[in-house]
Amino acid sequence: MRVLISVLLIAVLAGCTHVRSSQDVSVSGQGTWLVLPLVNRTATPQAGLRAAAIVESVLYRHGVQRVEAYPETDNDGVLFEASSPAIRKKMAQWITTQDATYVVSGVVHEWRYKTGVDGEPAVGVMLEIRELPSGEIVYSGTGSRAGWARDSLSETGQKVIDKLLKPVIN
């Protein structure tokens, strides 16, 4: 019986999304929201771009009317990493040219399939929302999740990002 309870507890915990974030934050979905590519701190190419695309979709789903993504320029494409000082400077300049209310940025800490028999997807993301033009951080949150063997990596990422943004947008 104890073994059964232990197995059930492990199964429940394996599918949980763990989130730590700013408390009691509520920001308006009105105005224009900018989405920057997330800094990729993983070994997975383009994890930051993939996560940023999911952020855009989740913002729309929660009522944000206008979302503008940072445009890929100068053939940054496949090897684009938002962490280089030159790219960060270009993104900061782009932000100043936009008439926006908020900018979403962050870091992808994990974006991979675990090794092993089942190869479960594992995602770890940190998101920040800054109010413009002041640049003041109004929300910061981090979340992680290990999915089930049949879950996709993007599905797992979507669950984490949704869990981070859903309680914030009113």
Residue-by-residue pLDDT tens, the chain, 170 positions? 444 343 333 334 445 665 665 667 888 889 999 999 999 999 888 899 999 999 999 999 999 999 999 987 655 555 556 777 888 899 999 999 999 999 999 999 999 988 776 789 999 999 999 999 999 999 999 999 998 878 899 999 999 999 999 999 98
**Which string of DSSP letters, residue by residue, matches 100-132?**
-SEEEEEEEEEEEEPSSSS--EEEEEEEEEEET
**pTM exceeds 0.85:** no
Q: Are 26 and 168 in contact, with CB atoms under 8 Å apart?
A: yes
The correct CATH number of 26-165 out of 3.20.20.70, 3.40.50.10610, 1.10.275.10, 3.40.50.720 is: 3.40.50.10610
